[in-house]
Structure 1
């Protein structure tokens, strides 16, 4: 599904109600008796020794309980804060969580929390890689966010339709938007997902135009704009211009979480996400003769029959098999992929 929009939404960066920040009934029901006086804030940046948040009054630097590990925070988290001391009291359970497991790491790396829509950004050049896009789609599906593939640099090619068709074929019903990230029309094209109270996040490789798109969506003046970098013409790879995750107000009244470029994304804990991504395979699997069919050589395999009949792309099946095996190898036994319940802040509640 390819999306084009032409009607821009109004933009009011001064809108600071809790609802405009993304607060919903999901978080309200988590409040306990005696917590009505705590301020509700949303994590905006996370650094090694400090954390900032967005509140109804504006940006706030939080005070943290002793021995707090800032890696437990995700940009987009909702927290309760003592309004007098600005001391963090506790986290609230996450509605969605984007996270990934890096090589050699025991715990998953938090990417963004409470995201409604994930903009998977790639460009109409050599960066376009269907296999890598499938990894991002599995991540989004597992987290419970709505994925949208955003094709940047559409003004640089004559045949953008080919990129749109390849992207749309990756997952049933996936929205695909092609645009020039430098123009205001980009904000109009993405307005459907950037309405008040909505949160989007940007992921993709370095050099695909994420920082440029952020500057456009947030209508940032030149002195506040995110740095952007050029790409190498021989391989379309770019330099990292975003080095940390951060929350930004954007046109239409929504919020955007920017993330550093990720060229390598190892799949882990995304079994359900893969089932959604490869729905044409997961829907056929129950009709195979054997319940534990690997869809490789067994007699009575419905998936292989679909390949033989020309109804299923064999390259697609190969990519499914590779991602499924990688997910099994990288997923620790008994791990929980959702991770939506963050640890409680150390210290007493007041």
Structure 2
């Protein structure tokens, strides 16, 4: 493959970035900065106002002071392609190229802020440990953010060697597949090597971000995929599978079989951030059922002719899944409303309308007039 827009004018020198995801489209986007003499590179790690960048000439350390906007979603992030000054002490990142995708969650603060975890990701790999009981609701939450990011989700069931038999493993995989329509579900064991070849083949075609709770086995899995102990690993408790955060920063690493992996710290809290499209994608079957309801604005609570409630009654839809759908939509609406004054006004208006309808219904029951 040849590349245009090389900072040094050499296709061979820029081919050094190919293992990190550089392609002709990135080269075209970088061309204006190339003309200014800036250097192209990909951010492999960010830490306290500085970042490590891999360039055609090797790694370098750069300062991000020029790219520190008030919007936390526009700060330099692991996975970004950036334009760096060719020299200087310190060297500065001047800008980053427009992102193709971004994995964002809401922060744990009371303010309406999002936190970007990784940029320009093709696969969002959700690691779920089989050493503890499956939390399908948490899987759905991760998947909603993954779909919203623009990446293709992949669920990896780690520690498959701890499952007592193949039949039990098959049932667990089936449970997750039902929870994750349209998403590959791959059981793996970093100890025995089971499933690593399948996962490696999936990840070889782009950039992947590895997500999951602390103790899910992400760092062990990353080491197995890399073929060496790059990430530190700490033991987890057998009772609940929890442990201290092994990974403390987000690191971008080239995989030996092709592709790039971004490992992330274990996430205790996974709040939605403007992820309505992602939620609808996770619960695609409920969206499809909703299209058959008698009323186009059916809330699937007690309305007559509700196809969703009928599916629950007949056993075609799990009550747990419907409740999870409602919960994530409510949460997402609250998060969006915090930062969207117009939506807050619409929600208040809707509350007042429903309140008026409720009062009218009560009056009707008492023999009054509507």
TM-score scaled by length of structure 2: 0.80
In structure 2, distance between residues paired with 1:166 and 1:137: 15
Partner of 1:47: 47
Gaps of 5+ in 1: 1-14, 336-350
> Within 2, Cα distance between the matches of 1:298 and 1:93?
45
Matched, 1:75 2:84: no
Shift of 1:27: 2.8
Cα distance in 2 between the residues matched to 1:329 and 1:67: 29
Q: Which has the larger radius of gyration?
A: 2
| 2:19/2:254 contact within 8 Å kept | no
Query: In 2, are the aligned partners of 1:101 and 1:267 still within 8 Å (CA)?
Result: yes
Alignment partners' CA distance in 2, 1:129 and 1:34:
46
State the alpha-carbon separation in 2 of the partners of residues 178 and 320 from structure 1: 25
2:115 alignment partner in structure 1: 109
Of residues 202, 210, 214, the one that matches 1:193 is 202
TM-aligned CA deviation for residue 178 of structure 1: 0.8
Q: CA RMSD, aligned part only?
A: 2.3
**CA pair 68-278 structure 1, distance change in 2 beyond 3 A:** closer
User: In the alignment, which residue of structure 2 is the partner of 1:279?
Assistant: 284
**What is the alpha-carbon distance in structure 2 between the residues aligned to residue 81 and residue 35 of structure 1?**
10
Q: Paired residues, what number?
A: 318
Q: What CA deviation, in whole Å up to 9, does each residue of 1:281-323 have, x standing for no partner?
A: 1112222222221100011112112222322112211110111
Aligned match of 1:89: 94
Q: Which structure 2 segments of 5+ residues have no match?
A: 1-13, 342-370
- Measured in 1, the distance between the counterparts of 2:256 and 2:133 equals 27
Which residue number in structure 2 is paired with residue 261 of structure 1?
Answer: 266
Distance 1:123 1:227 in 2: 18
Higher RCO by CA contacts (8 Å cutoff, separation 6 or greater):
1
Larger proportion of helix: 2
The equivalent residue for 2:23 is 24
**SS of 1:272 mapped into structure 2:** helix
Q: Which string of whole-angstrom CA distances, capped at 9 and with x for unpartnered residues, describes residues 135-177 of structure 1?
A: 0000000011111111111111122112211111112221111
1:68 CA displacement: 3.8
Asked whether 1:211 is paired with 2:198, we answer no
Separation of aligned partners in 1, 2:291 and 2:25: 35
- Determine which of 326, 333, 353 is the counterpart of 1:328: 333
Q: For 1:227 and 1:33, how far apart are their aligned partners in 2?
A: 40
C-alpha displacement of 1:193: 2.4
Tell me, in whole angstroms, the C-alpha distance in 2 between the residues paired with 1:117 and 1:306.
Answer: 32
108-117 or 229-238, which deviates more:
229-238
**Residue matched to 1:202:** 210
- C-alpha contact 1:187 1:251 (8 A) present in aligned 2: no
**Contact kept in structure 1, 2:66 and 2:94, CA below 8 Å:** no
Deviation of the 1:67 alpha carbon = 7.6
SS at match of 1:287: coil
Per-residue CA deviations over 1:178-213 (Å, capped at 9, x if unaligned) read: 1112355554121222326x1111111111111111
- 1:252 counterpart SS class: coil
Task: Please give the alpha-carbon distance, in whole angstroms, between the structure 2 residues aligned to 1:142 and 1:330.
Answer: 15
Aligned match of 1:167: 176
